[in-house]
Structure 1
Amino acid sequence: MSERSDVPGGSRPQALAGLGDRIRRLRAARGLDRAALAAKLDLDAEYLGTVESGAATPSLDVLAQVAAALDVGLSELFTDTRPGPAAVVLRGDEVPTVESGGMSMQVLTPRAVIPGLYAARYRISPTSTAVRPVRHEGHDWLYVLSGRLHVEFEQDETTLRAGDSVSFSSRVPHRLSAMGAEPAEFLAVGATLLETRSGLSEP
């Protein structure tokens, strides 16, 4: 992947604080050097170094690929908060929003409260360039809140309207985009079966 959406350090959203350091620690914990992880992601190792140092922020689809390569949920890149036995409550005005390339995301599970599960709210503008075809381990369920969401698979595609939903194996390459003049807002819930987490997703 050569595309990136760098955000100058002074204007980086609070939600991204510590992102690079978490990527570095997760990489080291898996016995990967920077060059090895960069090769899995088709990224330049020097650029990955700037991400880990906090000097650059990749686009959200690249972060999704990073999470898949490190065998963690996307939400684990955004916080060190560990799940516990008690309920975790997120107030609406406390949920951080991450934006890049015409797409915004709110991680609704600070870190997988239930192992292997994540939930997020997305908003994609009609001109968004942030989402390119991705694939990773597990299964995804999308529920459209407003607008029209176009979902493209390798050999199929569908357009969803408010109230529609779709579920699919996320190992199938998929691309999301907004149809029409209005942004598409949707909820995404993903689950990775614990027995599938032992292997990394294909590059």
Structure 2
Amino acid sequence: MSEPPGGARAPALAGLGDRIRRLRLARGLEQDELAARAELDREQLVGIEQGGTTPTLDVLAQVAGALDVELPRLFTDAEPGPAVMVLRGNEVPTVDTDGMAVQVLTPRAVVPGLYAARCRLSPTSAGVRPVRHEGHDWLYVLSGQLHVDFEQGATTLRAGDSVSFSARVPHRLSALGGVPAEFLAVGAALLAPPRGED
């Protein structure tokens, strides 16, 4: 996956805050209610909605979960597409935050509850902080070494290796060996997350 050009980040995030605000209002939620559901400070959510704050991908995942939508829904106003949809590699925007570059390969929900992304994690990054969310994740390493820390135990994956796990298990990703770790991430989200759980 190539480095994003200097102006690629803006189009990828264009309209993000307004889209989140409209989804929130459509669900009858106040900002403090959505912030609480997403485990964010209200000020952080306000910054995202107003476009003054660039959220990390794990924060966006928390917001998407709190809105009961899939992550790609935050990046597009397009309705779910046809049964067959082709994405050309040079048309897929790359969002790069904190050393993690991500190309969302399912910008429209062709299969409800399913998302796929191509990721590149820099070896100089501090790593993705521990996250957990609803559903199940599957990671497949394309190149480099991807280290996955779980709540109990850890594993290092190399090219051709994969791991699948409940995304409710806290997990943290980092790249080893001094080179970026490139991998595919596929997730199956629960469309109606149980309420009242952590």
Whether the TM-score (by the shorter chain) exceeds 0.5 is: yes
Which residue is 2:78 aligned to?
A: 81
Q: Within 5 Å, give how 1:95-134 maps onto structure 2.
A: 95-129=92-126, 131-134=128-131
Q: Does 1:199 align with 2:194?
A: yes
Shift >4 Å, 4+ stretches: 200-203
Contact residue 9 and residue 96 of structure 2 kept, 8 A: no
Q: Does 1:180 align with 2:177?
A: yes
Q: Matches of 1:84 and 1:63 in 2, distance apart?
A: 22
Deviates more, 1:43-52 or 1:96-105: 43-52
C-alpha displacement of 1:86: 3.7
Higher strand fraction: Structure 1 or Structure 2?
Answer: 2
Q: Matches of 2:103 and 2:187 in 1, distance apart?
A: 14
Q: Matches of 2:37 and 2:88 in 1, distance apart?
A: 36
Q: Matches of 1:193 and 1:141 in 2, distance apart?
A: 14
Contact residue 147 and residue 173 of structure 2 kept, 8 A: yes
Unaligned runs of 5+ in 1: 1-9
C-alpha displacement of 1:130: 5.9
C-alpha displacement of 1:115: 0.5
Contact residue 137 and residue 201 of structure 1 kept, 8 A: no
C-alpha displacement of 1:66: 1.2
- Deviations 1:102-128 (Å, cap 9, x if unpaired)? 110000001221001100011001122
Aligned with 2:147: secondary structure? strand
Contact residue 108 and residue 119 of structure 1 kept, 8 A: yes
Aligned with 1:132: secondary structure? strand
1:63 maps to amino acid? L
C-alpha displacement of 1:48: 1.4
Q: Matches of 1:90 and 1:33 in 2, distance apart?
A: 35
Among 143, 161, 166, the residue aligned to 2:163: 166
Aligned with 2:165: secondary structure? strand
Among 52, 56, 70, the residue aligned to 1:59: 56
Which residue is 1:136 aligned to?
A: 133
What is the root-mean-square deviation in Å for CA atoms of aligned residues?
A: 1.9
- Deviations 1:88-112 (Å, cap 9, x if unpaired)? 1110100000001111000000122
- Deviations 1:25-55 (Å, cap 9, x if unpaired)? 1222222210122223343312311210112
Aligned with 2:128: secondary structure? coil
2:188 maps to amino acid? A
Unaligned runs of 5+ in 2: 1-6
> In 2 relative to 1, CA 200–143 (structure 1 residues): closer, same or farther, beyond 3 Å?
farther
- Deviations 1:63-89 (Å, cap 9, x if unpaired)? 111112222111111111222334111
